């Protein structure tokens, strides 16, 4: 049975209930509206929420490495300051021997905050840049970006703050609500939302943005490309700006002032040639208007309508206002939209006057002021550097290598402080002295004019370079590296110079290293065993080592090395040496030495050339004829010796490719007619030779063109048609081999082939020509593979074996710091023909000073990134264990030999000059070198046809006491070097004149010497 359905109530009885419910909803809605309006006005609730959130987003700097640190991935400010590359930097530095000493530890809340895409709320630096300090913590270089900023709120002219608030964010300066959230201005945001909705339906509707100064600053700094590309970007900006505003608590009055200050200091204003990126209104004043920043800011706070200086104030005001407007589209407004910028500025000036922000007099003065934009800045940004220029250039280049940042423009904008062991005070003193040595009067005062010094030549054109290093804990620290070249080029570390007899030191080190190897190989054998050792016919070093070990009782390495230094070599120049592919003669610096038979001690001490030429020959022969690779087996063995055939083919390919490169350069880009004419001019012209040339290059050419070519190059010769027809047929393609055609034309056969190939393939690259000509190279050298050419084969095999020997010598040189990838395969390398670098020579001296231990050279010992940020990291150069590249006994032998150069030899003017009264004599040693470098041209008969001077150098590589070492080089480049005459006595005299500067440092006097690099403490560097 169904329940009865209640009868509906009378309609008049429903209305009170409905009205009651509606009334409750209305009350609730009114209450919510009141709360929302209250919250929009006071920001009380969000102040508590964001302040609590911000309090969790912290970081602490600790001495242990951080784990799982977060870093920004984009954002103009983060990219510019290097924050986005921090993981890369830390990995790169770890691989180069740097260890963390302190790092920011991010809280889990901050890591989560950044994972969600928000920007961390820390006190961001508006002005950053690279700072480099010397060993005492004094500045060598500082870059500031932006260059001009307001240091605090008090520096901002009030009229600038009011103008900015009026244009961009009118609530930012309203202090009536201390908890107000500066990231949101509700009226602007509401209008922006309405505009965006209308713009969906009406493309022509201008949709205004709702950004405040706080959100715009977040956008400038951290959004991709400094833009808002989506609603999500706007959300990230607003939340990040809100959290940052409440970082110090619920009261945002101070935060709003800071936001205004940060905005003025960091708003992007485009980029300009000669300046780069322009950020901040103060840099904008100088970059875009060429204004005096300090003067402009002094004018703006003055009474607005004061008659005196009104025009200047009006100009300053209009410039500043235009920058605040131009940030919306700087490339447009400072370019094609300049007239539009002027109109908008004028409109705002009227509005500002109407609002009472400026007076009518200042308005009219500003309206009358012209805005002249400059589109390129004259010269580099001033006042970037402190300290000595070439020191800062050197260290910035070192930093760019450490951080894989080749552009110094980028490096200079990183938020980074770096410390160098370089002694800034001594660097400046040495640099000043090197510059003063160009003054003839000062050069005379320093004792540089005289016999074997600067005998002739203008002192003002001489270049000098100087390096000084100090052996420290696990590293060689650069103390001075300078020159008097007024350019950023690093002479010490980048120039390739022929430094003459300093190469004798490298040669001697190689020789003693070989003796040490022979000692390891044979010293453990008994005399009977030594007698059975087979020695190559020309391996004089092995022969000497076995003979010496067979007759001595003291088989220690030190005794063997000293005995090796007592071996005598002739200084006679009366011998021709087959080396480097030809016969050469050499001479001594002093002809009086020609008859000497000198020990190696004496030869190094007096810098004799011929003993070292002969010593290098012994070294080369040792590598060629040592038992494991005896060249005699190849040179005297059967024709079918596999190694012999391999070397001949190697020679053919190597020399053939060299010739093909030469011929390619000669004929590439020429027309066939030009090539034929050039080949004709290269020979003593006869009809048969010209016939071979033409038929080789133009095998399909007609009889008529062939005859015309020969007649043009043999004008007046009786050439019958039938004779020319006979030549045309005789030299048709295929009648003669490539080698025979070269012989008949008196040209290298490969030149004929290259010319022909380029006629068929005029766009061919060199690599294509070399690949295509492999068979022709073998054909053109077919004569060399015949058994009757054995003498020619041996001479070419010897060249290759010598080159192989020099490859082994090069490996030994590289081990001790030689900076280049090849050596000249000639005995002349022992006296400097392979070149060197002053810094590389100093590295060799460091190995000798460090008992054969090769330590890294350190220019930058500490780095401090992003001080005060969640990305902060401090690193130091860890001591290195080094690499033992030379036996300690070899290093000690070399030190003694170098000491004789100073005490008795070519550097004796330096003896005792650095001794300190009351202390033991300072041990000093070194090697001098003079390079008179010329480009010589010889006749076919070997006579000297011409000689062109290319440079003159003089060097002294030295050690000064037990810890310091370095080089001093004097040189002049170019043809004008022919007007100079000086020897290595010049740099030794210069070093002697530096004694008053160096003596306190070498003596370790506290006020003069740099402190030792710290071994384990965190880098204490104040933020720039």
Given pLDDT bands bounded at 50, 70 and 90, which one contains residue 658?
confident
Whether residue 403 contacts residue 95, with contact meaning beta carbons closer than 8 Å, is answered with no
pLDDT for residue 1021: 38
pLDDT tens-place string over residues 464-474: 999 999 999 99
pLDDT score of 194 more than 60: no
H or E segment to which residue 317 belongs = helix 310-326
pLDDT band for position 147 (50/70/90)?
very high
Determine the Cα–Cα distance for residues 355 and 367; give it in Å rounded to an integer.
16
pLDDT bin (cut points 50, 70, 90) of residue 60 is: very high
Are 550 and 531 within 8 A, CB to CB? yes
pLDDT beyond 70 at 810: yes
Residue 596 has pLDDT above 90, yes or no: yes
The pLDDT assigned to 938 comes to: 43
Say how far apart CA 541 and CA 561 lie, in whole Å: 12
Calculate mean pLDDT across residues 34-53. 84
Calculate the average pLDDT of the chain: 86
Q: Has residue 277 got a pLDDT over 50?
A: yes
Which residue shows structure tokens 């390891």?
A: 520
> pLDDT tens digit string along 931-959?
876 554 444 444 544 556 677 889 999 99
C-alpha to C-alpha distances, 412 to 80, 288, 399, 409, nearest whole angstrom: 9, 21, 10, 5
Give the residue ranges of DSSP H helices in 731-869.
738-745, 749-760, 766-772, 774-780, 790-815, 838-849
At residue 257 the predicted structure's pLDDT band, cuts being 50, 70 and 90, is very high
Whether 559 shows a pLDDT value over 60: the answer reads yes
Between 303 and 160, residue with greater pLDDT: 160
165 close to 447: Cβ distance less than 8 angstroms: no
173 touches 162 (CB < 8 A): yes
In whole angstroms, give the CA distance from residue 563 to residue 557: 10
Mean pLDDT computed over 978-995: 90
pLDDT at site 95: 93
The predicted-structure confidence for 1005-1020, as pLDDT tens digits, reads as follows: 756 667 764 443 334 4
Distance (Å) of CA 901 to CA 466, 589, 893, 957, 988: 20, 16, 13, 11, 11
pLDDT at residue 606 is higher than 60: yes
Helix-then-strand count for the chain, H and E: 42, 21
Distance CA 939, CA 944 (A): 6
Q: Percentage of the chain with pLDDT > 70?
A: 87
Q: Mind listing the pLDDT tens digit for each residue in 71-114?
A: 999 999 999 999 999 999 999 999 999 999 999 999 999 999 99
| pLDDT score recorded for residue 183 | 86
pTM: 0.81
Assign 271 to helix, strand or coil. strand
- pLDDT tens track for 703-750: 999 999 999 999 988 889 899 999 999 999 889 988 888 889 898 888
Q: At what angle do helices 687-697 and 721-730 cross, to 10 degrees?
A: 50
pLDDT tens digits, one per residue of 754-802 = 999 999 999 999 999 899 888 888 777 776 666 666 666 666 767 777 8
pLDDT of residue 258: 94
- Confidence (pLDDT) at 187: 66
Peptide bond into 434 cis (omega under 30): no
Q: What pLDDT shows up at residue 645?
A: 66
pLDDT band at residue 49 under the 50/70/90 scheme: very high
Model pLDDT, residue 382: 42
Name the pLDDT band for 923 (thresholds 50, 70, 90): very high
Report the alpha-carbon distance of residue 438 to residue 432 in Å, rounded.
10
The answer on pLDDT for 960 being more than 50 is: yes
């Amino acid at each position: 049975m169904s329940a009865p359905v209640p009868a509906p109530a009378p309609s008049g009885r429903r209305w009170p209930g409905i009205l009651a419910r509606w009334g409750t909803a209305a009350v609730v809605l009114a209450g919510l509206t009141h709360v929302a309006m209250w919250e929009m006005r006071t920001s009380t609730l969000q102040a508590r929420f964001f302040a609590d959130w911000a309090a969790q987003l912290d970081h602490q700097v600790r001495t242990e490495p951080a784990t799982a640190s977060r870093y920004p991935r984009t954002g103009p400010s983060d990219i510019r300051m290097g924050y986005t590359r921090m993981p890369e930097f830390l990995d790169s530095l770890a691989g180069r021997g740097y260890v963390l000493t302190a790092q920011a530890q991010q809280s889990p809340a901050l890591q989560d905050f950044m994972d969600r895409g928000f920007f961390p709320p820390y006190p961001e630096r508006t002005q950053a840049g690279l700072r480099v300090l010397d060993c005492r913590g004094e500045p060598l270089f500082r870059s500031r970006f932006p260059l001009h900023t307001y240091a605090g709120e008090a520096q901002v002219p009030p009229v600038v703050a009011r103008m900015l608030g009026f244009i961009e964010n009118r609530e930012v300066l309203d202090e009536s609500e201390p908890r107000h959230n500066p990231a949101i201005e509700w009226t602007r945001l509401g209008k922006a939302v309405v505009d965006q909705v209308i713009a969906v339906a009406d493309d022509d509707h201008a949709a205004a943005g709702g950004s405040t100064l706080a959100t715009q600053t977040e956008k400038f700094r951290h959004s991709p490309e400094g833009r808002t590309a989506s609603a999500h970007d706007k959300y990230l900006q607003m939340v990040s700006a809100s959290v940052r505003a409440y970082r110090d608590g619920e009261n945002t009055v101070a935060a709003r002032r800071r936001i205004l200050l940060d905005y003025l200091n960091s708003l992007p204003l485009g980029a300009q040639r000669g300046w780069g990126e322009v950020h901040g209104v103060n840099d904008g004043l100088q970059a875009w208007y060429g204004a005096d920043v300090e003067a402009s800011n002094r004018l703006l706070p003055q009474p607005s309508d004061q008659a005196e200086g009104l025009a200047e104030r009006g100009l300053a005001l209009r410039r500043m206002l235009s920058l605040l407007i131009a940030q919306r589209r700087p490339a447009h407004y400072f370019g094609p939209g300049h007239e539009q910028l002027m109109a908008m500025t004028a409109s705002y000036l009227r509005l500002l006057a109407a609002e009472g922000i400026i007076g009518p007099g200042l308005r009219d003065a500003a309206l009358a002021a012209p805005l002249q934009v400059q589109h390129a800045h004259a010269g580099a940004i001033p006042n970037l550097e402190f300290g000595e220029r070439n020191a800062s250039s050197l260290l910035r280049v070192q930093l760019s290598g450490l951080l894989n940042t080749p552009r110094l423009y980028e490096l200079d904008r990183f938020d980074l402080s770096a410390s160098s062991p370089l002694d800034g005070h001594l660097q400046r003193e040495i640099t000043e002295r090197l510059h003063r040595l160009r003054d003839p009067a000062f050069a005379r005062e320093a004792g540089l004019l005289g016999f074997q010094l600067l005998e002739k030549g203008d002192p003002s054109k001489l270049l000098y370079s100087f390096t000084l290093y100090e052996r420290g804990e696990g590293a060689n620290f650069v103390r001075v590296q300078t020159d008097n070249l007024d350019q950023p080029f690093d002479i010490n570390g980048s120039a390739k110079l022929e430094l003459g007899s300093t190469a004798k030191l490298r040669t001697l080190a190689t020789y003693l290293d070989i003796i040490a190897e022979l000692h390891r190989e044979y010293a453990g054998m008994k005399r009977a065993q030594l007698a059975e050792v087979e020695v190559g016919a020309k391996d004089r070093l092995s022969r000497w080592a076995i003979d010496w070990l067979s007759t001595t009782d003291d088989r220690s390495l030190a005794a063997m090395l000293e005995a090796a230094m007592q071996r005598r070599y002739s200084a006679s120049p009366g011998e021709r040496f087959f080396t480097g592919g030809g016969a050469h003669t050499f001479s001594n610096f002093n002809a009086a030495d020609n008859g000497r038979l000198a020990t190696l001690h004496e030869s190094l001490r007096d810098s004799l050339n011929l003993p070292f030429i002969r010593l290098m020959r012994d070294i080369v022969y040792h590598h060629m004829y040592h038992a494991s690779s005896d060249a005699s087996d190849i040179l005297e063995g059967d024709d079918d010796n596999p190694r012999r055939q391999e070397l001949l083919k190697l020679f053919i390919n190597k020399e053939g490719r060299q010739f093909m490169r030469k011929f390619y350069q000669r004929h590439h880009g020429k027309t066939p007619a030009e090539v034929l004419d050039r080949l004709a001019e290269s020979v003593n012209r006869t009809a048969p030779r010209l016939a071979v040339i033409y038929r080789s290059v133009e095998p399909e050419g007609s009889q008529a063109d062939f005859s015309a070519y020969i007649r043009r190059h043999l004008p007046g010769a009786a050439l019958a048609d039938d004779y020319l027809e006979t030549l045309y047929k005789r030299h048709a393609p295929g009648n003669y081999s490539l080698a025979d055609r070269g012989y008949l034309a008196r040209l290298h056969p490969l030149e004929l082939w290259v010319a022909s190939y380029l006629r068929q393939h005029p766009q061919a690259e060199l690599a294509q020509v070399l690949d295509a000509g492999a068979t022709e190279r073998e054909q053109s050298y077919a004569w060399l593979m015949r058994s009757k050419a054995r003498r020619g084969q041996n001479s070419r095999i010897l060249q290759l074996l010598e080159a192989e020997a020099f490859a082994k010598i090069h490996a030994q040189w590289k081990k001790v710091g030689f900076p280049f990838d090849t050596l000249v395969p000639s005995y002349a390398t022992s006296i400097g023909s392979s070149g060197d670098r002053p810094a590389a020579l100093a590295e060799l001296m460091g190995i000798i000073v460090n008992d054969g231990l090769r330590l890294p050279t350190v220019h930058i010992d500490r780095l401090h990134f992003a001080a005060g940020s969640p990305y902060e990291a401090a690193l130091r150069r860890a001591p290195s264990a080094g690499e033992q590249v030379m036996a300690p006994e070899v290093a000690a032998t070399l030190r003694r030999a170098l000491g004789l150069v100073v005490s008795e030899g070519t550097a004796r003017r330096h003896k005792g000059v650095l001794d300190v009264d009351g202390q033991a004599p300072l041990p000093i040693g070194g090697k001098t070198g003079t390079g008179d470098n010329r480009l010589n041209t010889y006749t076919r008969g070997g006579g000297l046809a011409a000689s062109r001077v290319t440079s003159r150098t003089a060097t002294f590589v030295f050690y000064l006491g037990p810890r310091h070492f370095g080089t001093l080089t004097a040189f002049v480049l170019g043809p004008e070097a022919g007007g100079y005459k000086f020897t290595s006595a010049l740099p030794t005299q210069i070093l002697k004149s530096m004694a008053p500067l160096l003596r306190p440092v070498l003596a370790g006097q506290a006020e003069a010497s740099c402190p030792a690099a710290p071994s384990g403490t965190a880098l204490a560097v104040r933020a720039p």
